[in-house]
Copies of this chain bind each other. A is one copy, B any other.
Amino acid sequence: MLYLVESRVAPPAEITPEDWQRLAQAESDYGIQARRDGHLLHIWRIAGRYAAMSIWEAADHDELHALLCGLPLFPYADLTVTALATHPSTLRWGAIQSGQQT
Contact = CB atoms under 8 A, between A and B. Distances in A.
Nearest to A78: B49
Given A14-B13, A75-B11, A47 B81 contact: yes
A35 B93 contact: yes
Nearest to A74: B50
A68 interface: yes
Given A53-B4, A82-B53, A84-B53, A48 B32 contact: no
Given A61-B85, A83-B64, A48 B5 contact: yes
B82 A64 contact: no
Contacts of A61: 1-2, 47, 83-86
A98 B61 CA distance: 24
A31 interface: yes
A85 B53 CA distance: 10
Interface of A: 1-5, 11-14, 28, 31-32, 35, 40, 42-49, 52-55, 60-62, 64-65, 68, 75, 79-90, 92-93, 96
